[in-house]
């Protein structure tokens, strides 16, 4: 098991996106050593597993930090749009060769469910990945219900540019 695989529900989605549930303080150092340049956190700050000082931990390691709190019971399309805007900073979507220009980003929430759904939308809608290639192993194990089934499967959640 690699150090990254010890992080809760770690999944490597592409050469530039790693995802997981909530990393521990020490695991952020592992993330930095693995070459990621940024961390995107979709978890709510008041969750018992969240780290109140996560931003300072991450930035002290030289990584950029972005926090987009997405409520489990009430994600909004605006959350997804905000997420896509942050991911664009690292994906190189401004150029045709975006997959070659991408800088590694690590995205997490508490269990890697929100992240798997949002990354699926981003990879299919913005990066043009076929649906099978955009599915996280977590998304293959977890059957989204309710609003999360809509996020993954409903065209109203499509990221339009």
> What pLDDT does residue 56 have?
98
> What pLDDT does residue 112 have?
97
> What pLDDT does residue 95 have?
43
Task: Give phi and psi for 110, each to the nearest 5.
Answer: -85, -45
Tokens of 77: 């399309």
CA–chain centroid gap for 60, Å, is 20
Q: Are 22 and 49 in contact (CB under 8 A)?
A: yes
> What pLDDT does residue 140 have?
87
> What pLDDT does residue 100 have?
56
Report the half-sphere exposure of 121 (CA within 13 A, side-chain side): 28
> What pLDDT does residue 102 have?
84
Q: What is the pTM of this model?
A: 0.93
Domains and CATH numbers, the chain: 4-157 (3.90.190.10)
DSSP label at residue 23: P
pLDDT tens across the length of the chain (161 residues): 469 999 999 999 998 999 999 999 999 999 999 999 999 999 999 999 999 999 999 999 999 999 999 999 999 999 999 999 999 999 876 544 445 578 999 999 999 999 999 999 999 999 999 999 999 999 889 999 999 999 999 999 999 87
Q: For Cα atoms 72, 27, 33, give the angle at the middle one, nearest 5 degrees.
A: 125
């Amino acid at each position: 098991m690699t150090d990254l695989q010890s992080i809760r529900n770690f999944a490597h989605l592409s050469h530039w996106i790693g995802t997981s549930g909530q990393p521990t303080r020490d695991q952020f150092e592992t993330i930095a050593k693995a070459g990621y340049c940024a961390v995107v956190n979709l978890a709510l700050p008041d969750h018992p597993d969240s780290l109140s000082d996560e931003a300072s931990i991450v930035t002290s390691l030289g990584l950029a930090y972005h926090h987009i709190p997405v409520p489990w019971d009430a994600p909004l399309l605006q959350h997804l749009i905000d997420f896509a805007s942050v991911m664009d900073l690292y994906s190189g979507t401004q150029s045709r060769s975006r997959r070659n220009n991408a800088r590694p980003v690590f995205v997490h929430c508490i269990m890697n469910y929100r992240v798997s759904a949002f990354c699926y939308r981003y990879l299919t809608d913005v990066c043009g990945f076929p649906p099978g290639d955009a599915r996280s192993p977590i998304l293959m194990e977890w059957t989204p219900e309710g609003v999360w089934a809509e996020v993954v499967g409903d065209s109203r959640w499509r990221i339009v540019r």
